[in-house]
Amino acid sequence: MSLNDAHAFAFSLATTLMVAIVIFRAGDGSLSVMPAAEYDGDVSEIVHEVDPFAP
C-alpha cells in the first residue's frame, strides 16, 4: 500500500471507529494500518499515528 493510500485508509478508519490508528511498516517493507490499541510491534516501525480527537 502506498503512503498516500495508507494515510487515506487510516483517516477513514479513525473517523469511522473513533479510535487512534497507526500506520506502520511491516516486515516485508509494505505499509499497513491498524488500531493503536492492537499494535504490539516495534515502536520504531510506526510511520504515523492518526488520532481523531487531536485538534
Q: Is 20 helix (H, G, I), strand (E, B) or coil?
A: coil
The domain spans of the chain are 3-50
Predicted pLDDT of residue 27: 87
Pairwise CA distance, residues 11 & 15, whole Å: 6
**pLDDT, tens only, 1-47:** 899 999 999 999 999 999 999 999 998 989 999 999 999 999 999 99
